[in-house]
Structure 1
Amino acid sequence: MLLGQLVAQYEEALIAVGEEAESLSFAYRALKNWTFTDFVLALQKEVEAEDKTLLDSIFEQLKHHVPAQYIIGSAEFCGHVFTVDERVLIPRPETEELVTLILEENNQESLRVLDIGTGSGAIAISLALARPNWQVQASDVSVNALELAQENAQQLEAVVSFKTSNVLDELEGPYDLIVSNPPYISREDLEEVGANVLASEPHLALFADRDGYAIYEKIAQQAPSVLTPDGKIYLEIGYKQGNKVKDLFQKAFPDKRVRVLKDQFGQDRMVVVDNGSI
């Protein structure tokens, strides 16, 4: 059988169980260390036994809703390759927009930065690599997530300090910039979450109490005591949460400006707290 025929069969079967067909070739190319051209040329060749075994393995995992990034063990974020597994969420493209925004709006030589709920370390490490003079700290309530984040920092040679903390409980500050992509999905919105996300990604990093607002409420309560007078807060939010999160932080910081910004798809995605100088 030709490789192209086998791939087509598996892709059809993946679509039937609600998975993206493209995930198969994505994972296969990554594990083979092939370019897209390598893959296209191979489609017209007979499948060798070891390649069939590899495709079988990938297909079985995808069929049982294991994300392709967990299968290959990595995900790209802000031009860097991060190790990912079931301990952490897979970094999303919309979170890259948050990092880009921070870098565009903050060109100071030195800032004290905190990333709350760092997971794989994607935000903190990307900021530290882009701004080597910033003092970047990253926290998470999950010890397992922090272990992986530290591994990523070492692999990417980023200078980041790590601390186990439930939001700001174990942190003292002061901080010039606080960023967080916290758990924000309400358990009432399970139907909006993909099957592979529900099956494989850590629920601790996905869902939050109080209709998804619990972590925002805690940040709003604790941040005023550790944020410097000119400090800023950058948050990723769910697309339905803009107004409520804005209200939370406007009450916590009555003298600051609070903005709700949209992502590339036109959805509310970020809330920014600052002094209105931009």
Structure 2
Amino acid sequence: MLLGQLLAQYEEELIAVGEEAESLSFAYRALKNWTFTDFVLALQKEVEAEDQALLQSIFEQLKYHVPAQYIIGSAEFCGHVFTVDERVLIPRPETEELVTLILEENSRESLRVLDIGTGSGAIAISLALARPNWQVQASDVSEEALELAQANAQELEAVVSFKTSDVLDELEGLYDLIVSNPPYISRDDIEEVGANVLASEPHLALFADRDGYAIYEKIAQQAPSVLTPDGKIYLEISYKQGKKVKELFQEAFPNKRVRVLKDQFGQDRMVVVDNGSI
């Protein structure tokens, strides 16, 4: 059977169970280490037994809602390749927008930065690589996630320090910039979560108590004592949390500006706390 024919059969079955058909060829190409041209040229060739077995393995995992990034063991973020597995969330494109915003708005040579709930380390490591003079600290309540984040930092040669902490409970000192993409999904919104996310990604990093606001509330409570006078906070939020999160941080920082910013799709996605000047 030709590769294109076999892919078409599998893709039809994936669509039937609610998975994206493109995930199959994406994972297959990555595991074969093929360019797109390699892939296109192979579509009209007979599939050898070894490749049939590989495609079958990928298909079975996708069918049971294992994300393609877990199958290949990596995800690209801000131009870097991060190892990912079931210990951490897969970094999302909208979080790249948060990193880009931070870099655009902060040009100072030396900043002390804290990334709360670092997961794979994607935010902290990307910032450290882009701004080598920044002192970047990353924390997470999950020791398993921190193990993976440390491995990513080592692989990418990023200077980041890591510490186990529930928000700021175990952290000391002052920070010029606090960033967090925390768990923010309410358990009442579980139906909005994709099947592959729900089946495979860590729920500790997805869901938060108090209708999804618990971690924001804790950051708002603890941050005033550790943020420098000119310090800033950058948060990723759900598309429907902008008003509430803005109110939380405006109350915690009455003398600062609190902005709700949209992502490339026009959805509320970031909350920024600063002194009103970029």
Q: CA deviation at 1:5?
A: 0.3
Q: In 1, Cα distance between the equivalents of 2:221 and 2:142? A: 21
Q: CA deviation at 1:154?
A: 0.1
Q: In 2, Cα distance between the equivalents of 1:173 and 1:160? A: 16
Q: In 2, Cα distance between the equivalents of 1:37 and 1:190? A: 39
Which residue matches 1:258? Answer: 258
Task: Report the 3-state secondary structure (helix = DSSP H, G, I; strand = E; otherwise coil) of the residue aligned with 2:177.
Answer: strand
Q: In 2, Cα distance between the equivalents of 1:88 and 1:256? A: 33
Q: CA deviation at 1:172?
A: 1.0
Task: Report the 3-state secondary structure (helix = DSSP H, G, I; strand = E; otherwise coil) of the residue aligned with 1:6.
Answer: helix
Q: In 2, Cα distance between the equivalents of 1:138 and 1:60? A: 35
Q: In 2, Cα distance between the equivalents of 1:35 and 1:72? A: 15
Which residue matches 1:133? Answer: 133
How many equivalent pairs are there? 278
Task: Report the 3-state secondary structure (helix = DSSP H, G, I; strand = E; otherwise coil) of the residue aligned with 2:29.
Answer: helix
Which residue matches 2:41? Answer: 41
Q: CA deviation at 1:142?
A: 0.0
Deviation sequence 1:72-99 (CA, Å, 0-9, x none): 0000000000000000000000000000
Task: Report the 3-state secondary structure (helix = DSSP H, G, I; strand = E; otherwise coil) of the residue aligned with 1:76.
Answer: strand
Structure 1 regions of 5+ residues with no counterpart?
Answer: none
Q: CA deviation at 1:256?
A: 0.2
Q: CA deviation at 1:173?
A: 2.2
Q: In 1, Cα distance between the equivalents of 2:173 and 2:17? A: 48
Q: Does 1:57 find its partner at 2:47? A: no
Task: Report the 3-state secondary structure (helix = DSSP H, G, I; strand = E; otherwise coil) of the residue aligned with 1:65.
Answer: coil
What's the RMSD between the two structures over aligned residues?
A: 0.3
Task: Report the 3-state secondary structure (helix = DSSP H, G, I; strand = E; otherwise coil) of the residue aligned with 1:138.
Answer: strand
Q: CA deviation at 1:263?
A: 0.1
Which residue matches 1:162? Answer: 162
Task: Report the 3-state secondary structure (helix = DSSP H, G, I; strand = E; otherwise coil) of the residue aligned with 1:81.
Answer: strand
Q: Does 1:6 find its partner at 2:6? A: yes
Q: In 1, Cα distance between the equivalents of 2:256 and 2:108? A: 20
Q: In 2, Cα distance between the equivalents of 1:35 and 1:139? A: 36
Q: In 2, Cα distance between the equivalents of 1:199 and 1:40? A: 32
Q: Does 1:66 find its partner at 2:66? A: yes
Deviation sequence 1:40-68 (CA, Å, 0-9, x none): 11010001000000000000000000000
Task: Report the 3-state secondary structure (helix = DSSP H, G, I; strand = E; otherwise coil) of the residue aligned with 1:177.
Answer: strand
Stretches (4+) displaced over 2 A: none
Task: Report the 3-state secondary structure (helix = DSSP H, G, I; strand = E; otherwise coil) of the residue aligned with 1:85.
Answer: coil
Q: In 1, Cα distance between the equivalents of 2:205 and 2:118? A: 10
Q: In 1, Cα distance between the equivalents of 2:169 and 2:223? A: 10
Q: In 1, Cα distance between the equivalents of 2:208 and 2:116? A: 14
Q: CA deviation at 1:243?
A: 0.3
Q: In 2, Cα distance between the equivalents of 1:246 and 1:235? A: 10
Q: CA deviation at 1:244?
A: 0.2
